[in-house]
Structure 1
Amino acid sequence: MDENQSGQPGGKHPSPYIRLKRFHFIMLVFFLVFATAAITTLALAFGGEKAAEVGMKPHQEFEKLYEAYDKLEKNYYQDVNKEKLVNGAINGMIDSLDDPYSDYMDKKEANQFHESVSSSFEGIGAEIQEEKGMIKVVSPIKGSPAEKAGLRPNDRILAVDGKSLEGMSSSEAVLLIRGEKGTKVKLKVQPAGAKEPMEMTLVRDEIPIETVYAEINDEKVAHIQITSFSEHTAAELKDAIKDMEAKGMTSMVLDVRQNPGGLLDQAIEITDMFVPEGKILFQVEDNNGKREKMVSDNKEKISVPVVVLVDSGSASASEIFAAAMKESAGVPIIGEKTFGKGTVQTAEDFKDGSNMKFTTAKWLTPSGNWIHKKGIKPDIPVKLPDYANLSYLSPDNELKLDSLSEEVKTAEKMLEALGYPPGKVDGFFDGETEKAVKDFQKKSNIEQTGVLSGETTVQLMTDLREKIQENDTQKQKAIDTLKNEQTSSAS
């Protein structure tokens, strides 16, 4: 677990540990083995110091709990695991909160959690969270098996290798999804908006926690993508900006799409680079309605024009960053509405190595808005092309002449988007669809069988992903906005 720095209103960030009563902030990140990767990956949490030793307190309401424990220990027909009973009791209390961001992790799960902020891990690379007894994808990690397979925000993972995830916590699901590089994991997935679930087999890989990717176009507009807020993200961003400046950068697109969050101190340090000194970064409100304000104290600011890209996979720390850029720095936000996580978690370790995190407060935008379950609306709404939202096709399935299914309809839409007319897009694999597949196979140097499966399916999804990147309408709108801004300034 990484500790995050916090600060007092108007002051500097004093310590990597923040007293619980003063809102020590810890950004917890769960990476699903996507997994974070698929992950539970970084969920925004603000936490405190390790739990102090707690002695037994004479709470009368505990008598029923003690009585139940004693009866089970003495009278159950088999020997009971005392540790498992205690863990189950804690789990029960946490589950009764009906809060997807509160969780209890036993020692094994806690160890996995702590590894989530290391330099790399092995899994499928997706962030997940538990919601109403189901496991939902928050965001895949850039370049991960999860992203390549087509997992998207709000997809639900129903089962792993035939084992149902219903009723499991995100921590429990991560243990099933993660695994050694090169091993396969079969997921049963309910794509967002789809009627029927599908199965997909992913090969786990090493998921490096490289978080900043920068490039510059011929017009000297830099595109800098921040995929998560990890231990070295601020330093990576500063290095990337220096590199872009050396190449003549005149403006910057900061891209936090599909960024599930991360370490709060990194988000603060990065936001400080853009928000004017003395302006509010975000606020925290406790259960008594008392608010604390986090204020920018960095005097060195980025001077070139900036816009920020967001989407439904931008969550937690990404939303803190985006809200501050929008409300305190006046930076345009472009794209789609963000995920909507506006609560604060405290994380505490027990002496046996287990861990409990629970919601203790709300975080608010600089203007005092609570974006929980609402998200942040962009100043300039822009959607990606419809084909960017097509669901995954399983290479294990065979789609051929006379097949009739939703998968066939998805395949027809993919072929159409790539310039291979499949005839009527109706979910029926007819002669025109077969010809389109053969034409695609010929262009891709694949045996022309007219059957969509295996290598053909993988190549089809790869080509579509490249087309989406080449026709990134959100990124292009960001570049056009910067051009217009610079033109207006010049005139």
Structure 2
Amino acid sequence: MMRKTSIILLSAATGAALTLFVTQPRAVFMGTSARAATSDTYRQLNLFGDVFERVRSDYVEKPDDSKLVESAISGMLTGLDPHSSYMDAKSFRDMQVQTRGEFGGLGIEVTMEDGLIKVVSPIDDTPASKAGIMANDIITSLDEEAVQGLTLNQAVEKMRGPVNTKIKLKIIRKGQDNPLDVTLVRDNIRVRSVRARIESDDIAYIRVTTFNEQTTEGLKREIAAQTAAIGADKLKGFIIDLRNNPGGLLEEAVTVSDAFLERGEIVSTRGRNAEETQRRTAHAGDLTKGKPVVVLINGGSASASEIVAGALQDHKRATTIGTRSFGKGSVQTIIPLGSGNGALRLTTARYFTPSGKSIQAKGIVPDIEIVQDVPDELKSRDIKGEASLRGHLKNDGDEKTGSQSYVPPDAKNDKALKAAADLLHGIKVTSNAAVTPPPGAAAAADKPADDKAAAKPN
């Protein structure tokens, strides 16, 4: 057999960690049943060849041979389960950029508004911030090409590019009579997958948005920074927000979990082949020094997020608060197909929490369920969950559909966040957002604000 370099994927969207499988050549002896099965397989392949040639010769217009093959491969993989698929060369490159968490770009978080690109915020110490790009700036053209008519992804792709290359932006800024022309030189940009702030003066709130190659280092940095800012004696604990985090790298999920654990299993993966079966365990050294931890999850917390939540829940290292998670309990391997040929994303294993539980199509049930107040116009946006995906891997027992994934944009309306803070302050918290206030405290009514469009870094 040939050497095979593969990438392990663990997310509801995309994500990868590099691993290497090397197998040695071996003699293969087939019995009668194996030969019959092989013969039947070749007959099916001959059928595919016949159909392929008939399409090439008789279709009303001359088809593109490469697209025919790519479509056939895509059909074969998508027929397996919702997470197996074919990636062409461009999609493969995009996935690698996403999982690295680094790319050549400008350092701006942007969103789409009325067909134009609006700056959400520049990222500190990047070409955008150094050039004076400001929040709420409207970008109307890129290298003299109007952005009107482009999708957000298309505009972001144009702003990204090789380091040390130039791009010219035309910007409309409130208070300025004339548009501004700004020329920027692209630099290496790191996506911030971890953000933090101080909550209630004595709690460290850490939001993890994805599991890329920068996540564990970002988490370690914020644990140290927030502990120093609050003071170890004053610090009540940590809130780790994994809501609407689609997942990412298996290795990062393991090392993030390890940051809070002293010992024990974190996750096990079990596949059809021996090399896909392994156990990952924690190393001594809890970076929080045993401080209480609350993990927030919801219907959008998937895969790598569920590994972290499941590990900390099973070890009783953290209290999980929110709504049931997505329920993606499978591992994908990315298999490159050679230069310019893209890659296969193939489901190769299931993963299990330390207690031996598979969350596939079931999700993680939080220790304390807190349901948010969702505006009527947003109720239909709730994620349906793994069990609702056509062709999903089945699990024994009662499968569960998705759950609420709404997070109020204003923190003061966030019931799950409030419950987490109350718990860390020693206030009894029960499910269904029923919070027992301290004596003499008045309960405030929550009113959710409107949802906002997600920003995209470039």
Normalising by the smaller structure, the TM-score range is 0.5 to 0.7
Partner of 2:153: 178
Partner of 2:260: 274
- Of stretches 349-358 and 72-81 in structure 1, the one that deviates more from structure 2 is 72-81
Shift of 1:182: 11
Indicate yes or no: 2:291 matched with 1:304. yes
Partner of 2:318: 331
Taking the aligned partners of 2:89 and 2:157, their CA distance within structure 1 comes to 26
Shift of 1:309: 1.0
Shift of 1:392: 9.6
The residue type equivalent to 1:180 in the other structure is: A
Matches within 5 A, 1:230-309: 230-247=212-229, 248=231, 249-277=235-263, 279-287=264-272, 291-302=277-288, 303-309=290-296
Indicate yes or no: 2:346 matched with 1:364. no
Indicate yes or no: 2:88 matched with 1:106. yes
Where 1:179 maps in the other structure, the secondary structure is: helix
The residue type equivalent to 2:354 in the other structure is: P
Partner of 1:472: 414
Cα 1:78–1:218 shift into 2, 3 Å: closer
Taking structure 2 as the reference length, the TM-score comes to 0.59
Matches within 5 A, 1:106-125: 106-117=88-99, 118-119=101-102
Cα 1:124–1:106 shift into 2, 3 Å: farther
Indicate yes or no: 2:56 matched with 1:69. no
Cα 1:229–1:95 shift into 2, 3 Å: closer
Partner of 1:223: 205
The residue type equivalent to 1:258 in the other structure is: N
The residue type equivalent to 1:286 in the other structure is: G
Cα 1:221–1:465 shift into 2, 3 Å: closer
**Match for residue 73 of structure 2 among 75, 90, 103:** 90
**Match for residue 14 of structure 2 among 34, 40, 43:** 43
Report if aligned partners of 1:27, 1:47 keep a CA contact under 8 Å in 2: no
Where 2:86 maps in the other structure, the secondary structure is: strand
Shift of 1:125: 7.6
Taking the aligned partners of 1:182 and 1:264, their CA distance within structure 2 comes to 27
The residue type equivalent to 1:80 in the other structure is: P
Shift of 1:51: 11
**Match for residue 483 of structure 1 among 407, 410, 425:** 425
Report if aligned partners of 1:267, 1:317 keep a CA contact under 8 Å in 2: yes
Taking the aligned partners of 1:319 and 1:332, their CA distance within structure 2 comes to 14
Where 1:360 maps in the other structure, the secondary structure is: strand
Matches within 5 A, 1:153-164: none
Report if aligned partners of 2:85, 2:344 keep a CA contact under 8 Å in 1: yes
Report if aligned partners of 2:196, 2:206 keep a CA contact under 8 Å in 1: yes
Unaligned runs of 5+ in 1: 1-18, 30-40, 127-141, 145-160, 163-174, 184-205, 394-463, 487-491
Taking structure 1 as the reference length, the TM-score comes to 0.55
The residue type equivalent to 1:179 in the other structure is: Q
| 1:163-202 C-alpha deviation (Å, 9 max, x unpaired) | xxxxxxxxxxxx976211599xxxxxxxxxxxxxxxxxxx
Cα 1:270–1:485 shift into 2, 3 Å: farther
Matches within 5 A, 1:306-321: 306-321=293-308
**Match for residue 342 of structure 2 among 350, 354, 358:** 354
Report if aligned partners of 1:251, 1:306 keep a CA contact under 8 Å in 2: yes
Partner of 1:458: none
Taking the aligned partners of 2:284 and 2:4, their CA distance within structure 1 comes to 25
Matches within 5 A, 1:382-393: 382-387=370-375, 390-391=377-378
Report if aligned partners of 1:222, 1:252 keep a CA contact under 8 Å in 2: yes
Taking the aligned partners of 1:125 and 1:392, their CA distance within structure 2 comes to 22
Taking the aligned partners of 2:242 and 2:94, their CA distance within structure 1 comes to 25
Shift of 1:100: 1.4
Report if aligned partners of 1:214, 1:224 keep a CA contact under 8 Å in 2: yes
Cα 1:143–1:330 shift into 2, 3 Å: farther
Taking the aligned partners of 2:358 and 2:348, their CA distance within structure 1 comes to 15
Partner of 1:81: 64
Taking the aligned partners of 2:157 and 2:267, their CA distance within structure 1 comes to 42
How many corresponding residue pairs? 312
Taking the aligned partners of 2:361 and 2:7, their CA distance within structure 1 comes to 21
Shift of 1:218: 4.9
Q: Which has the higher strand share?
A: 2
Cα 1:297–1:331 shift into 2, 3 Å: same
Taking the aligned partners of 1:88 and 1:374, their CA distance within structure 2 comes to 32
